[in-house]
Amino acid sequence: MKPVSACHLYTFVDTAYLRGRDPAEVARQLCDGGADLIQLRAKSSAPDEILRLAGALLPVCEQAEVGLVINDHPKLALQVGAPLCHLGQGDFFDAGFRTAAQVTGCPKQMLLGLSTHTPEQAQRALRAGPDYIAIGPVFATATKPGRPATTLDYVRWASENVTIPWFAIGGITLANLDEVLAAGAHRIAVVSAILDAPDIVAACREFKRRLDAAAG
């Protein structure tokens, strides 16, 4: 996979959005559309099922040189050999972790991303030394029910204060993408606007085209 710094389109195989579709086939479509990273998000699945899903997605991602991110389960990420893991604030700090190395191992066995929802959380996360952070939810989104939008102000703050790779996430669509880019984002994470699209490959390609155009 390419370095996280060179990744711009972060996508998902979210079991809540599959609607009977084969996860590996969805991953292939995301790869064909130009995704740089694919996160496996399976909030309601048991660890054994997550391990099975990860095992099905990993060869698809490896063939396309796309990084597979395992959400919430660092031990499963290590077990399956995924190159990245992503944790929320609670999954990291409330679990007693203070440094990324406590999760990734030393020497590092995988990369780690952390969710953040405020500048204070971002600063705390950055002190832990992750490989990237997520900024959001920028807009209200069904993937994070009950969590208020952080608005574009948080994107603007990140563009001025965060020096490691960061991804704007939450309710980002092709209709509001220009606002997010204008606020300073160079990397985005997209769930429903791609997984709910009639053509996953085409949706990915359009997001990627506009990200590349904004990057110049």
For the chain, give the mean pLDDT.
Answer: 95
Rounded to 5°, angle at Cα 171 from 166 and 174: 90
What size, in residues, is the chain? 216
User: Quick one: pLDDT at residue 161?
Assistant: 98
pLDDT tens per residue across span 37-66: 999 999 999 999 999 999 999 999 999 999
Name, in order, each residue with C-beta under 8 angstroms of 18's C-beta and a sequence gap of 6 or more. Answer: 26, 195
Alpha helices in 65-118 (DSSP H): 74-80, 89, 101-104
133: CATH: 3.20.20.70
Q: Which among 87, 152, 170, 145 has a CA at the least distance from the CA of 121? A: 87
**DSSP letters spanning 16-48:** GG-TT--HHHHHHHHHHTT-SEEEEE-TTS-HH
What type of residue is 120? E
Q: Is the pLDDT of residue 193 over 80?
A: yes
Query: Could you list the residue range(s) of the whole structural domain that residue 50 is in?
Result: 4-215
**Does pLDDT of 3 surpass 80?**
yes
Domain count, the chain: 1
Within 10 A of 97 (CB to CB), how many other CB atoms are there? Answer: 17
Alpha helices in the chain (DSSP H): 23-32, 47-64, 74-80, 89, 101-104, 119-128, 151-161, 177-182, 192-195, 200-215
59-82 pLDDT, tens digit per residue, is: 999 999 999 999 999 999 999 999
* 3-state secondary structure at position 189: strand
Number of Cβ atoms within 10 Å of the Cβ of 181: 19
Confidence of residue 144 (pLDDT cuts 50, 70, 90): low
What gap in Å lies between CA 147 and CA 57, rounded to an integer? 29
The pLDDT value recorded for residue 149 is 85
- Kindly give, in sequence order, each residue whose CB lies less than 8 Å from that of residue 97, ignoring residues fewer than 6 positions away: 87, 103, 128
- Examine the pLDDT at 16 and tell me if it is beyond 90: yes
pLDDT tens per residue, range 93-126? 999 999 999 999 988 999 999 999 999 999 999 9
pLDDT band at 145 (very low <50, low <70, confident <90, very high): low
Q: Strands 84-87, 111-116: parallel, antiparallel or unpaired by DSSP?
A: parallel
What is the rounded radius of gyration, in angstroms, for the C-alpha atoms of the chain? 16
